[in-house]
Chain A
Amino acid sequence: MIVSPSPHIHNNDSVRRDMLNVLIALLPAYIITLFYFGSGAVYLTALSICTCMLCEHLIQKFVFKKPSQLGNLSAIVTGALLALNLPSNLDWWIVIIGAIVAIGIGKMTFGGLGQNPFNPALVGRVFLLVSFPAQMTTWPKPSPMHFEIDYTDVETGATYLTQMKEGLVSNPDYADLFIGSIGGSMGEISAIALLIGFIYLICTKTITWHIPVSIVTTVFVFTGIVFLVAPEGHADPLIHIMTGGLLLGSVFMATDYATSPMTHKGQLIYGVGIGIITSVIRLWGAYPEGVSFAILIMNAATPLINHYVKPTRFGETVKKEGK
């Protein structure tokens, strides 16, 4: 006779399955990236993922002396997300440094999966952004069906956000923004691809709508008010949502399990916080883009949110009505 405590069934969800769902949700973004940036994107992604896996494996084996955790796919997710946050013409050694920082410092220092206070991929990206500002902010212009690794003869340019920061507000083509025919990091160019990923994650119940929707709504409202008050010199809220890393950040980075709050109420507060910080940095800060910083700042606030924002307890609302 086998004896164990209840419950005796499980919904067959696993860490591996959730991570796999995130990877599947990233596929549309990768297809667009491949189309516009060609094999350079593949090369860079492979490099990032392999470095992350190797780094995690070595630390797990020689420092923690525990069995390898590569099977749960979380290192691959970190590697894939880091690559999507980089320009596709980045030097190979910079990518390796970024991946080592992401896994080594961002994740394993704290004890591995689930223990890290900050999103590892963003730790890697921000480290690179601060250390190699020039390389990290020149993006190749997208050229469809470009299949050469060599970018030396490719035109590079600034993104809309950089232009906005410099006070040049041009009227972009919304269709380009939507499909992804704009300059930028590999994963952030196409709004439609990220939206498909978002819908997939919601349908598979990998994430809930609270964080992405609250971030995007906050940015829309905040930049919308500024645009209404002073239309000159400011971009309209739709441009803010579809450019830069906002969609990539809100769907894939801010929703990272370990670093986001545990309750739906907390997640809304966290999302609104990210939205406000992003808008403030974009409108008045020194950097053209603020999503990464905003997410990391709110990651730091997550334990505080978890401490003060508790779920609605059963019976709580009734008591209040009675009083």
Chain B
Amino acid sequence: MRTFKIGGVHPNDSKLSSDKSIETMPLPEKAVIPLSQHIGAPATPVVEKGAHVVVGQLIAQATGFMSSNIHSPYSGTIEKIEVAKDAWGMPCPSIFINVEGDEWDEAIDRSEKINRECKNTPEEIIKKIGDAGIVGLGGACFPTHVKLGIRPPAKAEVLIVNGVECEPYLTCDHRLMLEHGEELLIGVTLIMKAINVERAIIGIECNKMDAIEHLRELAVRYFGIEIMPLKMHYPQGGEKQLIDACIGRQVPSGALPIAVGAVVQNVATCYAVYEAVQKNKPLIERVVTVTGDEVKNPCNLRVRFGTPLQMLVDKAGGLPGEYKIIAGGPMMGRAFSNIDSPTSKRTSGVLIMPRAKAKRQPEENCIRCAKCVSACPMGLEPYLISTMTEMKMWDGVEAAHVMDCIECGCCLYTCPANRPLLDYIRMGKQTVGGIIRGRAQKK
């Protein structure tokens, strides 16, 4: 079985909710829709205070090239538009909606019927994806229409679909592949048409054998789609690692996947593309895994954006005592600082960790055991970068390829001395990034 070649770790996969079907989350009474749910500029609101909106109606428009549309996930009245604290305590302009009933935009096809035929041209598909406000649902939230708008001379050769879900605990992509396999494959076909490739590979780690078999049976009817089982190996879901694992090509430092002819999309994004193109349904909801070792009822929920986090936590059995709540998986997820904050396009999982597990062990001297160097999937030297950052040797930090770091957390995960390697590397990356931008501006 294939995997990527350099580094990586093998955390316990702890997929507690892999056999729980996707449930639909009830609607909240009040919802907050952040206007920055993607990489790039926050969207510009196109509705006024007091206006009535329906589900699927455009409420904020993309600002410029690198941005994304936002649609109302609810029907109701706009209460106000003002700055609210997001999940990490940062101020973010948001639209507040008083939810009234569940009235949908009439253009949206809400039937269960699977719509297999596509008459759209590639340009129309990309336009529809952009209009629907689709962003990469693997966690980075890069606007999908920007990623698919490949400019010559770059040419895509293969579409790689990320069904790896290498983060421990998360099962939302796994359930999506099992329950909406057919729709997902249609979505893959649509993207293949949009970027004009004849080959797609869906990479899935072998702890999801049921999903692999299920998609293999379905893929027989779809031309050019190959299901590729991969060895369990974190961080295989990283874009560069996944390309290496699936087609054995390594994206050079600083380049994008298109440099080796690959385009990577997450399975959840493919499903969203199907809904947008075939059903006219914009991106207003996603599947979220709510889980944790001491959670009473780990589950997979279909959640509309703007639903307060507290509702998800209550659905899974509530919080007895003090906990750390993480948006995403335990390796790369960010800890929430605000439990009243809404879910957004970024929320792939809600992981609840008890206090005892949430605490880091005390830090010791670096014993130079080289375990971080062996674990780094980018072939960097975390011990060296973190020490140089500590000493503010920015030239050295840059020369050590700090900008290649994908922040996967393998170094800190593996460090026997519990050194905060990644914390320092992030700091080094930010500073060096600033220095590089400054240099570019001077020229």
Contacts and interface: CB of A to CB of B under 8 A. Distances in A.
A312 interface: yes
A236 interface: no
A208 B404 CA distance: 26
Interface string A260-273: 11111001000000
B9 interface: yes
Given A6-B333, A311-B381, A113 B250 contact: no
Contacts of A5: 334-335, 420, 422-423, 426
Interface string A1-32: 11111111111011101100000000000000
A315 B413 contact: no
Nearest to A2: B324
Interface residues of B, number: 69
Interface stretch (B90-98, B264-272, B359-367): B359-367
Contact of B367 (A8, A113, A261, A267): A113
Given A8-B330, A15-B417, A2 B355 contact: yes
Provide the main secondary structure of the chain A interface: loop
Residue in A3, A8, A267 whose Cβ sees the most chain B Cβ within 10 Å: A8
Interface string B149-172: 000000000000000000010000
B286 interface: no
A115 interface: yes
Contacts, number: 162
Contacts of A148: none
A313 B333 CA distance: 25
Interface stretch (B26-34, B110-118, B204-212, B336-344): B336-344
Interface stretch (B124-132, B217-225, B370-378): B370-378
A257 interface: yes
A315 B377 CA distance: 11
Interface in B304-345: 322-326, 330-339
A72 to B, nearest CB: 7
A10 B250 contact: no
B330 A9 contact: yes
Nearest to A71: B364
Contact of B373 (A2, A11, A262): A262
Contact of A258 (B333, B357, B361, B367): B367
Contacts of A267: 370
B416 A314 contact: no
A20 B311 CA distance: 46
B250 A114 contact: no
Given A14-B416, A115-B365, A3 B337 contact: yes
Contact of B252 (A7, A311, A318): A318
Nearest to B319: A1
A15 B416 contact: yes
A54 B230 CA distance: 52
A113 B367 CA distance: 6
Contact of B331 (A7, A114, A316): A7
A65 interface: no
Contact of A262 (B253, B339, B360, B370): B370
A13 B414 contact: yes
A152 interface: no
Residue in A1, A257, A260, A312 whose Cβ sees the most chain B Cβ within 10 Å: A1
Given A15-B416, A258-B368, A4 B335 contact: yes
A125 to B, nearest CB: 21
A112 interface: yes
Contacts of A4: 324, 335, 358, 360
Contacts of A318: 249-252, 260
B368 A262 contact: yes
Nearest to A205: B371
A170 interface: no
Contacts of B322: 1-2
B373 A1 contact: no
A1 B253 contact: no
Given A10-B413, A313-B378, A318-B260, A112 B365 contact: yes
Interface residues of A, number: 40
A18 B413 CA distance: 15
Nearest to B12: A9
A301 to B, nearest CB: 15
B15 interface: no
A65 B263 CA distance: 57
A298 B120 CA distance: 67
Interface in B45-84: none
A15 B367 CA distance: 8
Given A15-B417, A18-B369, A315-B253, A6 B11 contact: no
B412 interface: yes
Given A17-B416, A114-B365, A257-B367, A6 B379 contact: no
Nearest to A208: B374
Nearest to A1: B337
B253 A313 contact: yes
B379 A311 contact: yes
A317 interface: yes
Given A114-B365, A258-B367, A318-B260, A263 B373 contact: yes
A14 B240 contact: no
A13 B334 CA distance: 23
A1 B324 contact: yes
Given A6-B332, A8-B326, A314 B253 contact: yes
Nearest to A264: B374
Interface in A197-216: 208
A316 B240 CA distance: 13
Contact of B381 (A14, A310, A316): A310
A18 B365 CA distance: 14
B240 to A, nearest CB: 6
B401 interface: yes
A317 B250 contact: yes
Contacts of B136: none
B25 to A, nearest CB: 22
A9 B168 contact: yes
B279 to A, nearest CB: 35
B370 A10 contact: no
B335 A3 contact: yes
A148 B420 CA distance: 51
Nearest to B241: A314
29 contacts: A1-B336, A1-B339, A2-B355, A4-B324, A4-B335, A4-B360, A5-B420, A6-B331, A6-B334, A6-B335, A8-B326, A11-B413, A14-B361, A14-B417, A15-B367, A18-B416, A113-B364, A113-B367, A114-B368, A114-B417, A208-B374, A258-B368, A311-B6, A311-B376, A314-B6, A314-B250, A314-B251, A314-B379, A315-B255
Given A311-B373, A315-B240, A315-B250, 9 more contacts: A4-B335, A9-B11, A10-B360, A258-B368, A261-B370, A262-B383, A311-B6, A314-B253, A318-B250
The 6 closest A-B pairs by CB, nearest first: A7-B409, A2-B324, A313-B379, A114-B365, A257-B369, A315-B252
